[in-house]
Amino acid sequence: MKIAFIGLGNMGGPMALNLLKAGHTLSAFDLSADACRKFAAEGLPIAGSAAETVADAEVVVSMLPASAHVEGLFLGGAGKPGLLENIKAGTLVIDSSTIAAATSRKVAEAAAAKGVAMIDAPVSGGTGGAIAGTLTFMIGGDTKDLERARPVLEKMGANIFHAGAAGAGQTAKICNNMLLGILMIGTSEALALGVANGLDPKVLSEIMRRSSGGNWALEKYNPMPGVMETSPASKNYAGGFGTDLMLKDLGLAQENATAVRAATPLGGLARSLYAAHSLAGHGALDFSSVLKLVQKAS
């Protein structure tokens, strides 16, 4: 299949490489010349612009930071045309960015008006899952469009869930990330408390992992440096899932909670804690660096 892939960041780059390895014909682009160079060196064919990538594409995959980037790319703005002007009718667009459900629906409606099918397909599983091709996809859109997308999604992920109509994938994703943001802070607090009492963080992590406090952070993404070789904490919190991206997702969850009058007190507190952490200059670090907020300064 001919696939255009736009957005070669921490997630998009490895996802595009998995599609290439599966034998698809790729044409990829990122606004960052560094990102393009990095993945060109790994064999990914890079186009000169987003418009160039979609010229013969049967499927377009986008993996961008936030709502404004997705809306700007597909719909344009400030006098610039959107990519929908260049995408042929009959093409399928899979947007895997985590963005507002309302923006997903707006872009999907504009696409449908041009005969272009679109699904929202945000992911979970982190950069490890993107590299291993074991992501979980949460899909919003028509069943027939999901079935068209499935052979592509299967090369990047291990679990594919149909959450509902357009935008529903995004709603499922912000529920999940609100929970993740909260549990990373709770895990950090528990580890910092144990260490302040002289416990070895590796031993404490193993005790909690196998006890009732066990969770995804302790399994796969320990926030304490040196406990888990593969986690961003052991790489000075580089790469991974940025604090500012977590802050964006918690903001989306709070906007949504306000709209439907849901009570999300811990989600609200978590958003404020990540905001304080970002204001302290840690916005670009992996979100597990939120441990710094509760850890004794060394």
Is residue 140 involved in binding ligand NAD (CB under 6 A)?
no
How many residues bind ligand NAD, per CB under 6 A?
A: 28
Alpha-carbon gap, residue 66 to 69, rounded angstroms: 6
DSSP3 helix / strand / coil % (the chain, rounded to 5): 50, 15, 35
Is residue 67 involved in binding ligand NAD (CB under 6 A)?
no
List, in sequence order, the alpha helices (H) in the chain.
Answer: 12-21, 33-40, 50-53, 67-75, 101-113, 126-132, 143-153, 168-196, 201-209, 216-220, 243-260, 265-277
Give me the least distance between CB of 9 and ligand NAD, in Å please: 2
Is residue 270 involved in binding ligand NAD (CB under 6 A)?
no
Residue 27 · residue 2 · CB < 8 Å: yes
Is residue 44 involved in binding ligand NAD (CB under 6 A)?
no
**Which backbone phi and psi does 115 adopt, to 5 degrees?**
80, 20
Q: How many residues does the chain have?
A: 298
Is residue 126 involved in binding ligand NAD (CB under 6 A)?
yes
Catalytic residue annotation? 173
Is residue 178 involved in binding ligand NAD (CB under 6 A)?
no
Q: Which is closer to ligand NAD, CB of 237 or CB of 241?
A: 241
Give me the least distance between CB of 212 and ligand NAD, in Å please: 26
Q: Which is closer to ligand NAD, CB of 9 or CB of 181?
A: 9
Rule CB under 6 A: choose which of 3, 4, 5, 11 binds ligand NAD: 11
Give the pairing of strands 135-140 and 123-124.
antiparallel
Alpha-carbon gap, residue 140 to 158, rounded angstroms: 17
Is residue 46 involved in binding ligand NAD (CB under 6 A)?
no
Q: Which two tokens stand for residue 163?
A: 């959450």
Is residue 36 involved in binding ligand NAD (CB under 6 A)?
no
Is residue 237 involved in binding ligand NAD (CB under 6 A)?
no
Query: Could you tell me which stretch among 220-228, 237-245, 251-259, 271-279 binds ligand NAD (CB under 6 A)?
Result: 237-245
Is residue 167 involved in binding ligand NAD (CB under 6 A)?
no
Give the pairing of strands 76-77 and 80-81.
antiparallel
Alpha-carbon gap, residue 294 to 288, rounded angstroms: 12
* Residues near ligand NAD (CB under 6 A): 6-12, 29-32, 35, 50, 63-65, 69, 72-73, 97-98, 123-124, 126-127, 240-241, 245
